[in-house]
Homo-oligomer: A and B are copies of this chain.
Amino acid sequence: MTVSDVVGATASKYDIGEQMCPHRLVLEHVTSRWGVLVLIELLDRPYRFSELRRAIGRVSEKMLTQTLQTLERDGLVHRDAKPVIPPRVDYSLTDLGREAAEQVRGLALWTEERMGEVQKAREVYDARKGGSDQG
């Protein structure tokens, strides 16, 4: 399998710096700092905005709003504004969003499980580089 098969890339048309590949943008949205956390959190259940903000931690209101809008526009998150007073807005995953969230959770879990091995590799790499600087 080539990169072209997977992300529609060819050397001639795939200038990712100037003209973003559309798949690439979706990948960036779902693996963005807050995108990952929103998707994983919503795998459990729908959340209201303020609940979600508390669940995720120190995300600013502005960043969380932007992240949710991006994911809503991509069809991954459903925004349900209830016509009540005071206003109530619930966020949940669409079927498409659930698929994305499960993949992203898999990758996030993998990075957590393998973090020890990554750390060891870094120590070996840094020691070798340090050694070769001196030698």
Residue numbers of A with Cβ under 8 A of B are 1-3, 6-12, 14-17, 22-24, 26-28, 30-31, 33, 36-37, 40-41, 43-44, 54-58, 72-76, 96, 99-100, 103-112, 114-115, 117-122, 124-126
Contact = CB atoms under 8 A, between A and B. Distances in A.
A14 B58 contact: yes
Contact of A75 (B31, B56, B120): B120
A17 B58 contact: yes
Copies of this subunit:
2
Contacts of A22: 115, 118-119
Contact of A16 (B2, B58, B108, B118): B58
Task: Identify the 9 closest CB pairs spanning chains A and B, nearest first.
Answer: A75-B121, A31-B31, A11-B57, A26-B111, A73-B125, A23-B111, A14-B57, A103-B107, A23-B112
